[in-house]
Amino acid sequence: MTVTPFTKTDLFDGKVILVTGGTGSFGQKFIRHILTHFKPKKVIVFSRDELKQFEMAQGFPNEPRIRYFIGDVRDYERLKRAFDGVDIVVHAAALKQVPAAEYNPIECIKTNVYGAENIINASIDCGVKKVIALSTDKAVNPINLYGATKLCSDKLFVAANNYTGAQKTIFSVVRYGNVIGSRGSVIPFFMEQKKTGVIPITDERMTRFWITLEQGVDFVVKCLGRMRGGEVFISKIPSMKITDLARAIAPECQINMIGIRPGEKLHEIMVPADESRNTLEFSDFFVIKPSAPWGGIDYDAPYDGEKGKTVPQDFYYASDNNTDWIDIDGLKKVAKAA
């Protein structure tokens, strides 16, 4: 996916924008992008860790437009206080580590599901205009708890458009694959394992979607401009083979097959076949329309001047049936940049 300039300045200029999980990899990159390319009135970082906020502030010296709020998405009252006067919310906070979610399921549910409910209620109660929630390919046909909670979260945000009443708040979801170089990415792990001379691979058939942090931020920014409320936006991004990534990072190392881990898939899906009847395809993204539309919204009208095409029945978009792939040479560049 090519990053092209986004010029709809009236979307952000003079606005108050809040990012939950704002100290994370995505949050910091998104906030820097907004402050660099637009003229927001204020950007609020909402997160739990005061140390991460302190460290983040060192990277934004003398920036008067940033505010730092300590808080947890589990705490509705704190969210309501933070959302006062906010125009746009980008919800990036989540418990994301699959093994940790399996071991601490209730904690994952409290943050990813109840936290989504709190975001929705606080946004409506405070008159926020736009809310976009970050999802994951693991939310499609989930086999682990993290994916299941994100599927539930996605459903909550789509259905939230039914509950706005007289308020004008609209909610949509953005879904993309693994982010290159983000915390938890496999690249730093492979770099460390390279020192041992052995790279462990769970299954030689495994494929994954990949997107850079910059592309992820760009896609979210564009979807904030496109959204009408109720859509799930899916970015068209390349796939890669895990074995190719290992060979790109450590060609001299032995590859050791260790078997697939609990909660892990061979391939990732971003548009399931069951949603094909509600899916529109565009040049660089898909839109899954809500199965029960409301409010007279015309989802078939063009987005950014482009009219979507209905996908074939039983179409699905997965990392193994993708037409766009990163080869070993491309992965070498990706790993170096990460």
Catalytic residues: 138
- Cα separation, 202 vs 260, in Å, equals 5
Whole-angstrom CA distances from 55 to 28, 33, 50, 68 are 11, 18, 9, 12
**Paired residues of 180 in beta bridges:** 212
DSSP state of 314: T
Q: Which residues contact 305 (CB under 8 A, 6 or more apart)?
A: none
Pair of tokens at residue 254: 């032995």
- Cα separation, 65 vs 151, in Å, equals 34
- Cα separation, 144 vs 42, in Å, equals 37
* DSSP per position, 88-117: EEEE------HHHHHHSHHHHHIIIIIHHH
- Cα separation, 39 vs 42, in Å, equals 9
Residue 313: burial class (beta carbons within 10 Å; 0-12, 13-18, 19+): exposed
